[in-house]
Amino acid sequence: VTQRSAVAVIDAIQRRAAADPRVTGLAGGLPAEVQFPKRALAQSFLRALSQAGAPALQYGWVEGSEGLRALVARRLRARGAATRDDEVIITNGAQQAIAIALELSTQAGDHVGVDTETYPAALELMRARRRIPVAGAGKVRLIYAMPAVSNPRGLTLDAAGRRTLLARHVPIIEDDAYADLQFAGPAPRPLIADAPDRVLHVGTFSKTLSPGLRIGWLITPHRLRRRALQIKQASDLQASSLTQAILEDYLTGGGRGAHVTFDERLVVLRRFYRTRAAVLGRALHTHLPDWKFQAPEGGFAIWAEAGERGRQIDEVAFLKAAVAARVVFDPGSLFRSSSARSPLAIRLCFSTAPSAELEPAMRRLARVYRRVCR
Amino acid sequence: VTQRSAVAVIDAIQRRAAADPRVTGLAGGLPAEVQFPKRALAQSFLRALSQAGAPALQYGWVEGSEGLRALVARRLRARGAATRDDEVIITNGAQQAIAIALELSTQAGDHVGVDTETYPAALELMRARRRIPVAGAGKVRLIYAMPAVSNPRGLTLDAAGRRTLLARHVPIIEDDAYADLQFAGPAPRPLIADAPDRVLHVGTFSKTLSPGLRIGWLITPHRLRRRALQIKQASDLQASSLTQAILEDYLTGGGRGAHVTFDERLVVLRRFYRTRAAVLGRALHTHLPDWKFQAPEGGFAIWAEAGERGRQIDEVAFLKAAVAARVVFDPGSLFRSSSARSPLAIRLCFSTAPSAELEPAMRRLARVYRRVCR
């Protein structure tokens, strides 16, 4: 099978699993639905709609709404960056920000440095745009990295790792998607604070509020900003005025009654996902004792590698058997720049499924594993 | 000045004008705010949010929601196309659909056939992607056209024009953005009905409902569909789940009380914009009698060409003087594949400004014109 058709096969299996309510979903990196602030977003929607002239329903400017950009910049300044309000470009989620950043800083055929395992949609983007993702310390045109809470491992770079990354002296796409969900506390100092002349900073509200809004952002070095806006304009004119207006109202706490602030919300989310990570970690340890994994420092998932006797198991066969046992996960090949299907590794998301389902799901997965190991 | 900096100069003038409430806005092609169905959209939003699990706030699939795609396909079938539900890809407005279609069917350096005057953001997209827009009947790789209600002229191709277009036997991007706003009645048979193997059909709810939702669609020939989805996925994963859910509820009339159906709404909109077109046309005729224009058959604008003595007036100087007299419009160069700034022509949108402002605005514009003609 080609790499593309392997991805299509996995996609088809995961879609069927997602449509079946009996299957416990440990795939996809989706935020917990129970944490969506539905009432607060509804109130923000109604307030946004009641503004004179209803700008939330009208066209807006390519760079995004002034108020939302100011809010994003302020949060980055609080973390040590010198970001000015007018440097922020609002995008359709982090993915579009990564796509624009990649186009700005590389050409077809260029090598892009990535972690040994990384965000699948970034890898797919690079392949679609004929950039070549490569893990390791070789010479590259650009690095794509998640310094604060990586995907799929959920780890944050320590000071030495940060220094090593910056010392490579190439442009860096800093994908900050999970930074606010570092369990131990607030998001760390972003890379852009230390190298604003070559860091393209990418963020999103998809993990902390709602992916359905499709609101992310991009901050580029000054010299690239004008071209970034041209690419954004050519791509789709602008991000949704409506979802921007909802977010702006929500973040400024417009008319907040009993609602928590966004920062208070983040404290709740960190505790919520940390608890779930612990539940899944314990279940994994209990039921698949020969598997290797590191407790994540944040985010939505655990990256787990099969023990010695399972290393050569085919991940697609394992996925099919798991779905038959009502568990779905993300196979490891999706996260590898090489697309290698072995040694067997999987991403298990603890973020979406009800917490009480995590342990039983691991028990079923272990049964499947023992069977396919025979 | 280079073409790019001329566009930037015009953009800066128009932004200042848009920020000044005393200026009558005849630029931009914005729908009338008074026609936004605010209450109905609010009810649809609240219903979408109350669905179990709140899929409106969660990630969705790359191709868009099943319900919305079915609604789009059904409307096309009612116009004579054989579009199946699963052929529809939901995009961030028409612009993204055009961008994907262009990438699917051309390469850098290719010539793309366009009307002598056409949609500025399509021209900008082609330039950003190093495709070369050319007017006329020469050999091209692809044609970009608006067969039903063109922009900026607001004209619909007659049967002979349609036959000529199809007889060129190249792929066609059919931009159908204004088709539902043909004053005389329902949208005509789309080109995709006659050549589904080489028409890439693009539509949007931006003109008929709200551009702030950023919802459009793309239908490609079957062989291109898989790659279209790869490009969409790499670009930004998916369109907003939230605005898709709002639209789906709105279009199916979920819980409709006193609200009109979408088709009833279109009847109202056609009458509304036709009346405004007539008001602006009369004012133009009265105050700028030497200018040439054709009454539009639909859409938001009139394309007006200066008379003999005004042909050499610089459009940017004219725009600046007009803004000083509290009128803003779109200079003709934006619509020309050549970017030519003469002979002087402008697009006047009657869609946004209050109807009562149209005649006084034309009076002021005529005064400016007489002054700059001297």
> For residue B94, what pLDDT is reported?
98
Contacts of B233 in chain A (CB under 8 A): 121, 124, 128
3-class SS of residue A69: helix
**B chain contacts of residue A96, beta-carbon cutoff 8 Å:** 235-236
pLDDT value of position A2: 66
The tokens describing B9, both together, are 């100069």
pLDDT band at B46 (very low <50, low <70, confident <90, very high): very high
Query: Is the pLDDT confidence value at A248 over 80?
Result: yes
User: Which helix (DSSP H) or strand (DSSP E) does residue B346 occupy?
Assistant: strand B345-349
Q: What is the pLDDT of residue A256?
A: 62
Tell me what the mean pLDDT of segment B221-238 comes to.
97
List for chain A the helix, strand, coil content (%; round to 5).
45, 15, 40
- Name the strand (E) or helix (H) holding A57: none
Q: Is residue B231 within 8 angstroms of chain A, CB to CB?
A: yes
Q: How far apart are CA A102 and CA B148, in angstroms?
A: 37
Confirm if B72 and B88 have CB atoms less than 8 A apart. Answer: yes
Report the distance separating Cα A367 and Cα A345, nearest Å: 17
Check: CB of residue A261 under 8 Å from CB of residue A40.
Answer: no
Task: Indicate the pLDDT class of residue A258, thresholds 50, 70 and 90.
Answer: low
| A residues 201-230 closer than 8 Å to B (CB) | 206, 210-214, 230
Tokens of B191: 């080109």
Percent of chain B with pLDDT over 90: 93
Does B57 contact A36 at a Cβ distance shorter than 8 Å?
Answer: yes
Q: List pLDDT tens digits, range A197-237.
A: 999 999 999 999 999 999 999 999 999 999 999 999 999 99
Separation of alpha carbons B111 and A371, rounded Å: 59
Is the pLDDT assigned to residue B201 strictly greater than 80? yes
pLDDT at B138 over 60: yes
Please, which residues 82-111 of chain A have a Cβ atom closer than 8 Å to chain B?
91-93, 95-96, 99
- Chain A residue numbers touching B54 (CB-CB < 8 A): 33, 36, 38, 212
Residues 235-264 of A with CB under 8 A from B: 235-243, 245
The answer to whether the Cα torsion of B250, B254, B257, B260 is positive or negative is positive
The neighbour count for residue B107, using CB atoms within 10 Å, is: 10
Q: Which of residues 325-344 of B touch A (CB under 8 A)?
A: none
pLDDT(B206) > 70 = yes
**A351 pLDDT more than 90:** yes
Radius of gyration of chain A (CA): 21
Nearest CA in chain B to A244: B212
Q: Which residues of B touch A51 (CB under 8 A)?
A: none
Minimum distance, in Å, between the CA of residue A309 and any CA atom of chain B:
36
pLDDT of residue B337: 93
Q: How far away is chain B from the Cα of A235, in angstroms, using its nearest Cα? A: 5
pLDDT at B374: 79
b/e code B247-283 from CB counts within 10 Å (16+ = b): bbbbbbeeeeeebeebeebbeebbebbbebbebbbeb
- Tell me: pLDDT of B52 over 90: no
Q: What ipTM is given for this predicted complex? A: 0.96
Side by side, which strands form the sheet with A330-331? Answer: A292-293, A301-305, A345-349, A330-331
Confidence tier at B97 by pLDDT (50, 70, 90): very high
pTM of the model: 0.97
- The answer to whether residue A64 neighbours chain B at the CB level (below 8 Å) is no
Q: How far is B95 from chain A, CA to nearest CA, in Å?
A: 5
* Partner A, chain B 19-58, Cβ-Cβ below 8 Å: 28, 30-31, 33, 36, 38, 41-42, 45-46, 49, 53-58
Q: Given the DSSP bridges, would you call strands A345-349 and A301-305 parallel, antiparallel or unpaired?
A: antiparallel
Cis peptide before B171 (omega within 30 of 0): no
Query: For position B228, what pLDDT does the model report?
Result: 98
Distance from C-alpha of B55 to C-alpha of B68, rounded to nearest angstrom: 14
Confidence of residue A257 (pLDDT cuts 50, 70, 90): low
Averaged confidence pLDDT in chain B? 96
Q: Which residues of chain B does A92 touch, with a Cβ-Cβ cutoff of 8 Å?
A: 92, 214, 236, 240
Q: Which residue of B has its CA nearest to A37?
A: B57
Q: Look over chain A and give the mean of its residue pLDDT values, rounded to a whole number.
A: 96
Task: Give residue-wise pLDDT tens across range A284-328.
Answer: 999 999 999 999 999 999 999 999 999 999 999 999 999 999 999
DSSP string for residues in A261-318: PHHHHHHHHHHHHHHHHHHHHHHHHHH-TT-EE---SBSSEEEEE--GGGTTS-HHHH
Tokens 């705010």: give the residue.
Answer: B33
User: pLDDT tens across A79-121, in order?
Assistant: 999 999 999 999 999 999 999 999 999 999 999 999 999 999 9
pLDDT, tens digit, for every residue of B303-313?
A: 999 999 999 99
Residue A157 has pLDDT above 90, yes or no: yes
Question: Which of A242, A247, A249, A250 is the best residue to mutate to test the B interface, defined by the most B CB atoms within 10 Å of its own CB?
Answer: A242
Q: Mutating which of B35, B59, B206 best tests the A interface, going by the most A Cβ atoms within 10 A?
A: B59
Closest CA relative to residue A180, chosen from A211, A213, A206: A206
Interface probe with A: pick from B9, B16, B57, most Cβ of A within 10 Å: B57
Q: What is the crossing angle of helices B225-236 and B93-105, to 10°?
A: 130
pLDDT at A8 over 80: yes
Q: Looking at the predicted structure, is the pLDDT value of residue B1 above 90?
A: no
Q: Which of A206, A236, A241 sits opposite B96 (nearest CB)?
A: A236
pLDDT of residue A320: 97
> Which one of B58, B103, B131, B334 makes the best mutation probe of the A interface by having the most chain A beta carbons within 10 Å?
B58
- The pLDDT assigned to A122 comes to 98
β-sheet bridge partners, residue A117: A336
Name the helix (H) or strand (E) containing A91.
Answer: strand A88-91
Q: At residue B77, what are phi and psi to the nearest 5 degrees? A: -65, -35
SS3 B238: coil
